[in-house]
Chain A
Amino acid sequence: MVEFHVDRGSGYPPYLQIGQQVREALRLGWLQPGDRLPTVRDVVATSGVNANTVLKAYRELELAGLVEARQGSGTFVKASLGSAAPEDLDPLREGLAKWVAEARSAGLEDEDIYALVREVLSGGAQ
């Protein structure tokens, strides 16, 4: 069962934070199609966010085609995200860990690493 953490200080709207966390869980394989998302009441009771926020997050995920609400029984994961199977992820993760260690030893801080990753992802490296 996923548990959501909402960063109240963040400028990122809380309902998007929840949506993002569901997507992340899907990508990482923590949530599989057919899994049930926690009920709105559970999320409210455990993470102290407004029920409307949770509903909004679920609705957004539903619109994105990732989950579906089944009458009376809850919200269920419909599709998986991320094309890679979990077993394919492992070597990649290992490689990245090695790379991060290298970067650290080169004196890069986390912020520098994020910046580098972003730059590479956006194709901005020339």
Chain B
Amino acid sequence: MSVVAADVSKWAVRNVSFELPPGSVTAMVGANGSGKSTLLNVLAGHLPPSSGHASIAGRVAYVPQHKPMYRSFKVADVLQFGRRMNEVWDERRADEWLTRFKVPRRLQVEDLSGGQRTHVTLALALGSRPDVLLLDEPLAELDPLARHKVMRELLTEVNDNGMTLVFSTHVVAEIGGVADRLLLLSNGRLLVDGDTDELLEQHVLYTGPHASKSPVEGPVVLAKHGRSQSSYLVRSGGVRVDEPWTARYVTLEELVVAHLERAA
């Protein structure tokens, strides 16, 4: 295992446990204030958990939510900072990231756009050759095109270097095909922890005539009843259903919303 959280509690976060294998890509999803940042801070070692423990095998790099960076540093100074402050430093990797996203080296950090600053912090994080990279809302300040590109590049880094990637987001539409693991947090609790593909295959939405009982066996995530119609989102594992019911797979977004609604 590359990242382990064992019964971690801290502030809003309560008794969260999970384990992430090396080379996995995990999306941490939840509303604002659900404890994502706290949990990432605990994993990164910046906060001691009040109970339980978190551990990471190998080197960890963490890019927190607001992408803090010394404002008076020039971009080149940031690279020098990384080189001097780390025992392991991959100048080329950091440098290439900045080149790829056209970040001017001569500017001071305070003169950069939000997106450029994100790239500078990402370059610093990647340059230290982390085994585990923790990103808190990495895409928040990027335009849609850059978001896609950053994700693609990060996934390439994961593929090339066997890095483990954990990122938080509240845009569920971004994680399909990107994350192979979903951690859904709500009010500091872990609601869902699973392989995204498996989750998609397990959850089926059944729609049919008004009924007080689910047409299939399995845990009901959410039931909705209209005047003449009922729909059940069931973690049925893809069980088929007879007429007059219809079944369809749900999107990750529907799945997440259903779980959050249920928890609310």
Q: Are A and B direct contacts in the complex by CB distance below 8 Å? A: yes
Interface, chain A (partner B; CB < 8 A): 6-17, 40-41, 44-53, 56
- On chain B, the residues within 8 Å of A7 by CB distance are 176
CB distance B180 to A53 under 8 Å? yes
A48 touching B250 in the complex, CB below 8 Å, given contacts A15-B197, A56-B197: no
B148, B175, B176 — most chain A CB neighbours (10 Å): B176
Query: In the complex, which of the residues B155, B173, B201 contacts A13, with contact meaning CB atoms closer than 8 Å?
Result: B201
Q: A10, A45, A56: which contacts B156 (Cβ < 8 A)? A: A45
Looking at the assembled complex, report how far the CB atom of A1 sits from the nearest CB atom of chain B, in whole angstroms: 17
Bound: A76/B25 CA distance, A: 27
Contact of A11 among B23, B175, B180, B200 (CB under 8 A): B200
Known: A11-B249, A41-B160. A48 touches B254 (CB 8 A): no
Known interface pairs A13-B200, A13-B201, A56-B197; A51-B176 also in contact (CB < 8 Å): no
Q: Is B76 an interface residue (CB 8 A)?
A: no
Residue B47 CB within 8 A of the other chain: no
Residue in A closest to B154 when the chains form the complex, CB atoms: A48
> Interface 1/0s, chain B 138-181, versus A by CB < 8 A?
00000000001001100110111000000000000111111110
Instruction: Knowing A11-B200, A45-B152, say if A6 contacts B177 (CB, 8 Å).
Output: yes
Q: Residues of B contacting A52 with CB < 8 Å?
A: 23-25, 180
Q: Do residues B155 and A44 form an inter-chain contact, with CB atoms below 8 A?
A: yes
The CB with the most chain A CB atoms within 10 A, among B174, B196, B197, B252, is that of: B197
* A9 pairs with B158, CB closer than 8 A: no
6 A-B residue pairs with CB within 8 Å: A14-B197, A44-B159, A45-B156, A47-B177, A50-B155, A53-B177
Q: How far is the CB of B163 from chain A (nearest CB, A)?
A: 11
Does A44 lie within 8 Å of B177, measured CB to CB? no
Chain A minimum-CB-distance residue to B150: A48
Question: In the complex, which residues of chain A have a beta carbon less than 8 angstroms from the beta carbon of B24?
Answer: 52
The answer to whether B19 has its CB under 8 Å from any CB of chain A is no
B177, A14: Cβ atoms under 8 Å? yes
Residue in A11, A14, A50 whose Cβ sees the most chain B Cβ within 10 Å: A50
Contact in complex: A51, B155 (CB < 8 Å): yes
Complexed CA–CA distance, A2 and B254 (Å): 30
Interface presence of B248 (CB below 8 A): yes
- 20 further contact pairs, Cβ within 8 A, besides A8-B177, A44-B159, A52-B180: A8-B175, A9-B173, A11-B249, A11-B251, A11-B254, A11-B255, A12-B200, A14-B177, A15-B197, A40-B159, A41-B160, A45-B152, A48-B148, A49-B178, A50-B158, A50-B179, A51-B23, A52-B23, A53-B180, A56-B197
B256 to chain A, nearest CB (A): 12
Determine the chain A residues whose CB is within 8 A of the CB of B248 once the complex forms: 11
Which residues of the other chain, B, contact A6 by a CB distance below 8 angstroms? 176-177
Q: Once the chains bind, are A51 and B159 in contact (CB under 8 Å)?
A: yes
Is the pair A48, B178 in contact by a Cβ cutoff of 8 Å? Answer: yes
Contact of A50 with B25 in the complex, beta carbons under 8 Å: yes
Contacting pair A49 B156 (CB below 8 A): no
Question: Complex Cα distance A49/B178, Å?
Answer: 5
CB contact between A9 and one of B148, B249, B253 (< 8 Å): that residue: B253
Which of B160, B177, B180 is A48 in contact with, Cβ under 8 Å?
B177
Question: When the two chains form the complex, which single residue of A8, A10, A12, A40 contacts B178, counting CB atoms closer than 8 Å?
Answer: A8
